[in-house]
Structure 1
Amino acid sequence: MSAQDHSCGVADDPAFGWRNDPSLQTVFSLVNRDGEEVRVVGGAVRNSLLGAKVSDIDCATTAEPHTIMAWAQEAGIKAIPTGIDHGTVTLVIDGRPFELTTLRTDVETDGRHAEVAFGRDWGEDAHRRDFTMNAVYMDAEGRLYDPVGQGIKDARARHVRFIGDADRRIAEDYLRILRFFRFFSQYGERLEEGDYQACIAAQASLPTLSAERIGAEMVKLLEGPFALKALDAMHQGGMLTGLLACVPHLARFARLKQLAAQLYLKPDLNLLMTALCIDVREDAERLAKTLRLPNRNRDAMMRMAKTVRSIKTINEQVLEQLAYAHGKETARDLVLLALVRRQIAPDLTELSMLLRDIALWTVPVFPLNGRDLIDKGMKPGPKIGNHLGQLEKAWVSSGFALSKGQLLSMARSLR
C-alpha cells in the first residue's frame, strides 16, 4: 500500500497554521530537490489532528544524512549530527531546531536496540513506527499521507493503537509498552484492548530496559491529563507496583486530580508522585532510585511527606508560616496534599481565596542578624545562632509582627 493511497489536504486548516512558518519553509526548500523529499511526521501532525499544542516539528526524508549536512553547509544553515548513525540530523534555522530523519527499515531488533538501514519507501517507514497516530506525514503543499490507513482517524479519535501486530511492535522495542500507556495518559479517549493485553503479557520484559528510559516515560505519563486512567489500566494489569517499587494509592491520586481541578491548580511532578506513593522517607528514596530521578525530586518528596504530617488545620496564619518556611509554591502543594490525605477539610471556596492571597503575599524578611546581637553585647559564638533561631520562631509565631526593637529587647533575656 503506498502513501498516496490515503491522502487529504489540510492547507486551509487553522490547526496546521504552523506549516507556513518561514523556518519550516526553509527546510522544505532545502531538501525538496534532486529527487529527494522531506515531510513533517509524528507529533506536530498528530497534535494538530487531535487539537493539542504543537511544539517540536520533526521531519522524515528520503535524503541521507551526509546529503542534508552538505546542503545545509552550502546554504549557511547550522546542521548538527544528532544521531547520524541512525539517520538523524538537526537543522537550526532562526534559532529553531528541526530534526530530519532519513526513511528507515529495521534490519534487526532485540527489544532494546534496533539495527536500521536507510530506505526510500514512505510506506515501509510508516509501518516500522509505533502507533497509527504517529505515522501520518504532511508535505510542503499541506497534503497529509496516511500509509497505514488508520492514523488520521485514530488521531482525531484519540485512539491509541499499535501499527499492525502489537506483539511484533513490542518485541522491536520493549519501551513501547510504557509509551502505549504514556500516550493513553496524554490523549486519553481510548486504547486498543488487544494491544493493552499484549502490553500486559509482555511486561516481564521491562526490566531489560535501562532505569533511565523507564523513568523518563513514567514521568511523562504521570504529568499527562489522563494519567489516572493510564495508571489504573496499568494497575489492573499487575504492572504498576513493580514499576514504582512501592504501593500506589490510586484513590489519593484521583482525589488530588479532582481537588486540583476544583481549585484551578496544576500539580507539579513532586506533588503527583508524593500523592501517589510516598508516605515515608524510604518511599521517596526507593522511587527516586527506581526511576533515576534527580536528587532535587527525591529531596522535595521527602520534605513534603515529612512536613505534611504537622498540618492539622488551615488558616491565613498557618499558610503564611508554611510559605515563609518552604516557599509559596511548596506551601500550596503541602496544603493540597494535606487535603488529599483528609487531614484538613476546609471550605474549598475559602481555601481558594487563601491560596490566591498567598500567591500575592510578599514573604517578609527576618529583621535581625548575628551582627545585631553582637552589637548589643552578645559574645560571638555558637549561641548567637541558637538565639537567632529562638527569636525568629517568636517572630513567626507573632504573625511576623514583632519589630526589630522588640526582638532586641527579647534578646536581652536570652543572655
Structure 2
Amino acid sequence: MIASVAHASWFKAKETQTLLAALEAARPGGSRFVGGCVRNTLMGREVDDIDVATQLTPDQTTEVATKAGFAAHPTGIEHGTVTVVVNHKPFEVTTLRRDVTTDGRRATVAFTESWEEDAQRRDFRLNALYADASGAIHDPTGGGLDDARAGRVIFIGDASTRIREDYLRILRFFRFNAWYVRGPLDPQGLHACADLAAGLDALSVERVWKEVKKMLAAPDPRAAWEGMTAIEVRARALPELANETRLDALCTLEADLMLPVDATTRVAAALMDQDGARALARRLKLSNEERDRLVAALGDEVKITSYMSLRDMRRAIYRIGNEAFRDRVMLAWAGAGGDKAQAWRALVAHAQMWTPPKLPLTGDEVMAAGVPAGPKVGAVMREVEEWWIDADFPSDKLSVIERLKAVAQGMA
C-alpha cells in the first residue's frame, strides 16, 4: 500500500487543489485531508465526501473562503465545522479539536493546533489518518496505516474510554467492521462494546437508525451482524430485527450471485412481520416513506413465486408497486435459497423495467355512459379496472369503452 493519496482523482481535482491552495496560503502546512477520503483511498474504496482538518479557526476559514470567492456555511460551528463550496463541490473544513467534556452522547470541544490532540479524540485508528498538501500520509496514532493495510478496526487508545465519550461508537464499531474488516473482529473492542452496551439506551433513536442503514449497506455485513448479535448489542439496540435466518440468507444470496445491495430490503429481511416493521418505525422515528416501504415489503396479499407468469408479475406490480414487488421477490428468493436463480433474476428485472399503465378511463366518461354522479361512478370504474387488469392491461381505448357500456348497463 502506497502511503500517499496524491494519485487519487479527488485529490487532483481542480476544486480540491483550489481550496487547499487558499487554506495553505493563509497558514502554510496548517490544513490536511482527514478521515474517510484518506482511509478509503488507501484501501482502494470509493470516496464520497472530502473532509479537511485545519489549524485555522472557523472565522479564519470563513474569511479565507469568502476572499477566494467560495461559499462558506457554518454547518457545525459549535464543533468548528464550516462547509466550503467550491464550484458546487462541498468540503467540510473543521478546526483541530480536543474534547473538554463528554457525556456519552455529545462533547464540548476546544480548538487546538495539535494534530496529535485532534487524532486522539477520534474513534478508530484508521479514521485518524491525515494527508498533507503533497498527498503524504500522517499517522499520529501510530496504528492507522497498519490497520488500513491489514483490514481491521481498532479503537484509538483505550476502547472503553472511547466508547464512554460517545456510546454511538459501539454501533460504529460494527458498522466499520462490516465495511472494512478482513478477518475476525478485534476482541478488545468487542469486549468493551459488550461491557458498555447499556450506554446505547441513552442515544437518540435517529442516530441509531442512521448507523443501522449504513451498516446494512455494506457489501457483506454478516460477520459484523453476528458479532453484534453474539454480545446482545443487536437485541438491545434493535430488538425488532430478530429474523437472523432470513437476513443471513439474503446477504448470502447477494454475495454469491453478486446482486445489488439495498439496505432497506435487508432491514425488511431482518424483521419478523409487518407488526415488527411498524414497531421499529415508531421506536426509531422512521419517515412515513421508510415505514410504508418496510410494511409493504412484508405483505402477503400477493403470492410471489419463482414461476410467476409475465401476466401474474404485471398484476402484482400494478397492485403493490414496483418497489414493494422487488422487495418481496428478494425476500421470497432468500427464503427459497439459491435455486432457480435465473427465474428470480427475471422477476427482479421486471420490477425495474415495467411501468404500470394508468387505466384509460375517466369519471366523466363513466357518467357519459349513463351512470349518475355519486358512488356508482367509483363502483363502475373499479369493475372495469378489474376486467382491464384481468385482460393484461389492454391499451385499446375502444375495448375499455365497450366494457364500460356493458358494466353500466348491468348496473342500471
- TM-score normalised to structure 2 length: 0.91
Contact 1:228 1:250 in 2 (8 A): no
Q: 2:10 aligns with which of 8, 11, 18?
A: 18
1:195 alignment partner, one of 189, 198, 205? 189
Is 2:128–2:140's contact at 8 Å kept on the other side of the alignment? yes
> Within the alignment, does 1:258 sit opposite 2:255 as a pair?
no
Map of 1:125 onto structure 2: 118
Partner-residue secondary structure (3-state), 2:52: strand
CA distance in 1, matches of 2:310, 2:297: 20
Q: Determine the C-alpha separation between the residues in 2 that align with 1:213 and 1:135.
A: 22
| Aligned partner of residue 351 in structure 1, secondary structure | helix
Q: 1:89 to 1:354 in 2, by over 3 A?
A: closer
List 4+ stretches of structure 1 deviating above 6 A.
none
For the residues of structure 2 that align with 1:352 and 1:279, how far apart are their CA atoms? 24
CA displacement 1:159-206 (0-9 Å, x = unmatched):
111111101111111111111111112223243111111011110111
Relative to 1, partners in 2 of residues 1:269 and 1:139: Cα closer, same or farther, differing over 3 Å? same
Mapping 1:384-399, distance limit 5 Å: 384-399=377-392
Opposite residue 133 of structure 2, the aligned amino acid is A
Per-residue deviation, 1:74: 2.3
Gaps of 5+ in 2: none
CA distance in 2, matches of 1:369, 1:25: 58
| Partner-residue secondary structure (3-state), 1:133 | helix
Map of 2:285 onto structure 1: 292
* SS, match of residue 307 in structure 1: coil
Counterpart of 1:5 in structure 2 is none
Task: State the alpha-carbon separation in 1 of the partners of residues 62 and 6 from structure 2.
Answer: 32
Using the alignment, how far apart are the partners of 1:245 and 1:20 within structure 2?
45
What letter matches 1:408 in structure 2?
A: L
Change (3 A) 1:345 1:265: closer
Does residue 20 of structure 2 align to residue 28 of structure 1?
yes
The one-letter code matched in structure 1 to 2:209 is: G
Q: 1:103-144: per-residue Cα shift (whole Å, max 9, x none)?
A: 111122221121211111112211221101101100111111
Match of 1:311 in 2: 304
CA RMSD of aligned residues (A): 2.3
Change (3 A) 1:61 1:345: closer
Of 378-387 and 349-358, the range deviating more from structure 2: 349-358
Instruction: Pick one of 127, 137, 140 that aligns with 2:130.
Output: 137
Q: 1:167 to 1:359 in 2, by over 3 A?
A: closer
After superposition, the Cα gap between the structure-2 partners of 1:179 and 1:308, relative to the gap in structure 1 and judged at 3 Å, is farther
Query: TM-score when scaled to structure 1?
Result: 0.91
Q: 1:324 aligns with which of 318, 326, 331?
A: 318
1:413 equivalent to 2:410? Answer: yes
**Is the deviation greater in 50-59 or in 103-112?**
103-112
User: Could you tell me which of 31, 47, 55 is aligned with 1:62?
Assistant: 55
In the alignment of these two chains, the number of paired residues is 405
Deviation at 1:357, TM superposition (A): 4.4
Taking the aligned partners of 1:341 and 1:354, their CA distance within structure 2 comes to 15
| 1: CA distance, partners of 2:352 / 2:241 | 33
Name stretches of at least 5 consecutive residues in structure 1 with no aligned partner. 1-7
- Residue by residue, what CA displacement relative to the aligned partner does 1:364-401 show, whole Å, maximum 9, x if unpaired? 33222222221111111102111211221122122224
